[in-house]
Structure 1
Amino acid sequence: MSTLGWILLMSFGGGALSVLGAAAIVRQFSPATVSALVSYAIGALLGAAFLELLPHALEHGNIERTTATVLGGIFLFFLLEKLVLWRHCHHEHCETHAPHTDHAGHDHGRSGLMILIGDSFHNFVDGVLIAAAFLESTQLGIVTSLAIIAHEIPQELGDFVVLINSGYSRARALAFNLLSSLATLVGALLAYTTLGTARDFTPTLLALAAASMIYVAVADLIPGLHRRAELRATVQQSLLIALGVSSIALVGALLGGFE
């Protein structure tokens, strides 16, 4: 399959898969299920960032510039979150993003419209990252796509709860989330047409991809795990995080000769 074919398949299929997966879980929503997904997603994100993205970025780019890009990217994503591009809070103190919505589905002042806007932006960035990874190598593109899908499911799950709490029916919530997922395809196509003639930017985008995954895992997902401090929960979370990292390492090893 061509590079463009892989990009189209993963950006469109991956986005739709994460939305449909979240929709299926909403039908049997339970805190234990969400917690397990979040723990696994943390491991998948950190594994992709440190085992795949950063090594490739450092291999093909300037070391100082790449590490500075990661640092700047983490700060950038902090500012974006503060500007309510990824989530919307009307109150000074509110719950963190999607995976930590409470059992009753209260949106704590977050509007469904702003959730869709923020999710569309996030999906657009995911598309850019998927295209950048595939332009580097097919192996890296597949691993990056799998990691993005892994962390999108719990986030989309929370978005469903917010939309339903804001008055959307399950059918409308699914339709709007699928529409929002098309932003992944738009971002991927734009990145492909741009990066095809500007490969020098690939290490920078890979560094930004790593920064995004590190930030989401450490700032958005890990704090929610600390709400369950008992030993049994800690052991379960640790094992699932390790499983997420191991799955990325395993996929990378299996796809080592795929190109």
Structure 2
Amino acid sequence: MHSSLLLVLLAAALGTALAIFASALLTARYIARSLEPMVSVSAGVLLGASLLHLLPEALDKGMDHHQLFALLLAGLLFFFVLEKFSIFRHSHHHEHDGHDHHHGFDKREARRGGLLIVIGDSIHNFADGLLIASAFLVDFELGLVTTLSVVLHEIPQQTGDYLVLVNAGIARKKALQLMAVAGLAAVLGAGLGYTLFTQMQALLPYALVFAAASFIYVAVADLIPQMQQRVKVKESIVQLVCIGAGVSLIAVLAEILHHHH
């Protein structure tokens, strides 16, 4: 049974809403400390959702496995090109995060690309909205798993962007407003995706593979390299545990939903 448009729109808005709420409540220094484990959990969630759910679901929908891996490769290269042009952008670097950036790093980065942060977030959020819509139209269970994956990634990503903007001298209220504007793109993407995929069901497997490519690219090209900067054994063990927790969370949620579906 297909999910309603209202449910899809609410799910798409959830990630941005929670990220804005977290950023508004917490101080910049506290967010910086909490982002480390959140990024590791996020990597596990994205990898688990894409490899354990999105890609198998595309195969179950009748997609040829040769076609699936070809499209997955094309998707990874597509996001690589977008990031090269600073269109597909993730910010987990910020002052007070323990990384060896010089003082004023955020001011320089935001001064050079403050607008690109908002544009990049908007494009990324729009794609997330399309993904959430396609997942819900395939299966309610897959929709919830995908929404959770997006939400758990959006919180560290958008709060990271928020810190860059605030450290650049932008007022907190203004930075939150910019995040909210970018967040509307997710709702727009969800509405467009719901309309498009409802009319063209044959596109759903392709959307799932492209979504998986997005998740895998973010985890492997952005999150994991950030984590590799922490080389101490204790920190590495914590990261591994957090990644495992993210994968396990997705697996357990899917199992619970499967029994109640």
TM-score (norm 1): 0.91
What do you get for the CA RMSD once the two structures are aligned?
A: 1.7
Q: Give the CA deviation at 1:209.
A: 0.7
Tell me which residue corresponds to 1:221. 223
AA paired with 2:206? Answer: T
Alignment of 1:196-211 (within 5 A): 196-211=198-213
AA paired with 1:106? Answer: F
Q: Give the CA deviation at 1:135.
A: 0.7
Once the two structures are superposed, what CA deviation does each residue of 1:136-170 show, in whole Å capped at 9, x if it has no partner? 00000010010011111111111111211333111
Q: Give the CA deviation at 1:28.
A: 4.3
Partner Cα separation in structure 2 for residue 25 and residue 167 of structure 1: 17
Partner Cα separation in structure 2 for residue 236 and residue 14 of structure 1: 25
Kept after mapping to 2: 8 A contact 1:43/1:242: yes
> Is 1:109 aligned to 2:109, yes or no?
yes
Seq. identity, % = 42
Runs of 4 or more, structure 1, over 6 Å off, are none
Q: Give the CA deviation at 1:105.
A: 6.7
Aligned length: 250
Q: 2:65 aligns with which of 63, 66, 74?
A: 63
Tell me which residue corresponds to 2:41. 40
Moved more, 1-10 or 152-161: 1-10
Partner Cα separation in structure 1 for residue 32 and residue 123 of structure 2: 27
- Structure 1 residue ranges without an equivalent (≥5): 88-96
Alignment of 1:11-50 (within 5 A): 11-29=12-30, 31-50=32-51
Tell me which residue corresponds to 1:178. 180
Kept after mapping to 2: 8 A contact 1:131/1:188: yes
Once the two structures are superposed, what CA deviation does each residue of 1:102-158 show, in whole Å capped at 9, x if it has no partner? 326732433322211111111000000000100100000010010011111111111
Once the two structures are superposed, what CA deviation does each residue of 1:60-109 show, in whole Å capped at 9, x if it has no partner? 1221111111111001000000011123xxxxxxxxx4112232673243
Tell me which residue corresponds to 1:233. 235
CA distance 1:54–1:25, shift in 2 (3 Å): farther
- Structure 2 residue ranges without an equivalent (≥5): 97-102
* 3-state SS of paired residue (1:98): coil
Q: Give the CA deviation at 1:5.
A: 2.7
Kept after mapping to 2: 8 A contact 1:40/1:241: yes
Moved more, 163-172 or 25-34: 25-34
CA distance 1:26–1:49, shift in 2 (3 Å): farther
Kept after mapping to 1: 8 A contact 2:3/2:137: no
Q: Give the CA deviation at 1:225.
A: 0.9
CA distance 1:40–1:85, shift in 2 (3 Å): same
Kept after mapping to 1: 8 A contact 2:15/2:154: no
Partner Cα separation in structure 1 for residue 59 and residue 69 of structure 2: 8
CA distance 1:105–1:2, shift in 2 (3 Å): farther
Moved more, 223-232 or 58-67: 58-67
TM-score (norm 2): 0.90
Moved more, 150-159 or 232-241: 150-159
Partner Cα separation in structure 1 for residue 25 and residue 249 of structure 2: 23
Partner Cα separation in structure 2 for residue 45 and residue 26 of structure 1: 27
